[in-house]
Amino acid sequence: MKQRKWFRERLASGQTIFSAGAYDALSAKLIEAAGFDALLTTGFGISASHLGQPDVELYTMTENLNVVRHIANAVDIPVVADCDTGYGNAINVMRTVREFEQAGVSAIILEDQVVPKRCPAIANRVEVIPRAEAVAKIKAAVEARRDPDLVIIARTDADSEEESIARAQAYIEAGADMIQPISKTFKDAAGLRRMKAAVSKPLSLQVLGWLEKDLSADDLREISGMSTFPLVPLMTVALALQQNLAALAAAKHAGNLPLPLMDHKKFADVLGFARITELQHRLLPEAPDFLKSAAE
């Protein structure tokens, strides 16, 4: 699969992959159109957009998988799947890896929290499973993948730098290709540099909290193999909807909304109406030209 091969080769080259968080196929297409190298399917965003619920692993593996499959089918850039805790023990992880690999992702993220997980961006405290159990889950993921180009990213939510580094080293020894620390554990760039030096593997950074404020693009290139802005798309849409819908509900008129709307033709271009019209003309020559008129 060309996306997987590109993703792994880009990591091996030492160049940083920049990505943003997708929560559905439309957000994925917009991330691709914006020019990002890759995208991350954010569990936070999928839970919010599909369930209207917080990120506490309320959705099932198959519910997440269905969203990820649609996203992978909608774009040509590599897709990194947030697979939470793997949805169970090491045996469950093996099925999770195989299902997401078949869905077309280039990388998966597995974290070492207890089940059900808690989002560290919101929760005051999270709990991690014993190190040996977490190592076994990474070993199971490595054993389960069929394509050696599939990148396995081991995330640690340990609450101290020392334990995070110790776990990261153990996960690398178990076969993980990248390590993802959480921003709450590390207080500055120096700590992240110590983590990078200790594991000798690329770091996957979710650019949240102090990382958004304190790290420049050059800092991210120096420290990380992949830097992701996981919540900017979701929070952008949430605020825009909140503001425009409040104005629309109050005025009952769309003529003076606080934020502009995308032009219908531009939106049709994002969705690929032109491609569908071309296929219709070529494969359904006798069919009405309804798609063309709808896109115009």
Question: For residue 18, which amino acid is it?
Answer: F
Active site residue 83: no
CB 109 within 8 A of CB 180: yes
CB 89 within 8 A of CB 114: no
Q: Which of 115, 119, 198, 238 is catalytic?
A: 119
Tokens standing for residue 77: 């850039």
CA angle 287/291/293 to nearest 5° reads 110
Per-residue tokens: 93: 């992880």
d(CA 225, CA 15): 7
* Cβ atoms 146, 98 nearer than 8 A: yes
Residues with catalytic roles: 119
